[in-house]
Amino acid sequence: MSTTTHAPKAIDPSASLHAEALGLAKNHGRLAGRRVIVVGAGQRTTVDEAPSIGNGRAMSVLFAREGASVACLDVNKDAADDTVAQITGEGGKAFTDVVDVADVAAIAPAVERCAQRLGGLDGLALNVGISSGLSLPKMTAEAWDRDYAVNVRSHMLFAQKALEVMAPGGAIILISSMASQRAGGRNPAYESSKAAQIALGRAIARAGEDKGIRCNVIAPGFMDTPMGRDASRRRSDRAVTVPFGRQGTGWEVAYTALFLISNESSYVNAHTLFLDAGHMGGIVRG
């Protein structure tokens, strides 16, 4: 048996880093006049001096650049306000709404309030997601329930209310994770709640079909967001075999979300899109 270890082959990561991946592309009014709620529209603070953009902030900013009015929901007012400031500073339309999605009673009123302020509702992006990071031996019932309340229960409650108030022909997206398919993180509440989102997405699509409302799920892989960097600080080798020699960006999540929430994807429904540069398909560097 060979004990030789191989360093991953050299690759120029910039070969796949297009203007879209960096949030620098021109915009085309792909969501002109649409009214969208993004849940988890802020982003966590990190130790990084130059933090990358998170998924929720990137999709809020991109939706607004493409012409949508965006309700930025978050438990952290400052984080949501920063997203709104970026949007309005670029001439877009957005406002903050503070809600803790673990609070069952807060969700339906938040959807109603935001839809009223937006003048209707065409899109809902359920980005919020947390992780206790506890392995199976260390898991507690409280930590398990907290992850599930935020990652799954809140998505069900948001979708339930949104299906009631949303205009026919609207779209809902959920942000799951590649962790839904793998035990690599030793993180069972996160992994199983992310897998549950995939089934929930199909159930929402089924319930929305009468009104022509679609629901799809994005499952990102290794992303260079503040959340991803936190994970890499815990496990520095977690993404060494990633395709293209780089992790994905929050903008790449946002562009996928833009397609799925816009009318461009009008026949894409109950689908899960793995946004992982092919990693799940066996494209592994090394």
- Residue numbers at the binding site for ligand NAD (CB under 6 A): 40, 42-44, 54-56, 74-76, 79, 99-102, 127-130, 150, 175, 177, 220, 223, 225-228, 250
Residue number with the smallest Cβ distance to ligand NAD: 129
CB of 214 to ligand NAD, least distance (A): 19
CB of 2 to ligand NAD, least distance (A): 33
Q: Rounded CA gap, 149 and 226, in Å?
A: 22
Any idea which residue has 């709404």 for tokens?
97
79 or 172, CB closer to ligand NAD?
Answer: 79
101 or 200, CB closer to ligand NAD?
Answer: 101
CB of 33 to ligand NAD, least distance (A): 25
49 or 210, CB closer to ligand NAD?
Answer: 49
210 or 237, CB closer to ligand NAD?
Answer: 237
CB of 136 to ligand NAD, least distance (A): 19
123 or 226, CB closer to ligand NAD?
Answer: 226
95 or 211, CB closer to ligand NAD?
Answer: 95
CB of 47 to ligand NAD, least distance (A): 13
Q: Rounded CA gap, 15 and 67, in Å?
A: 29
CB of 96 to ligand NAD, least distance (A): 11
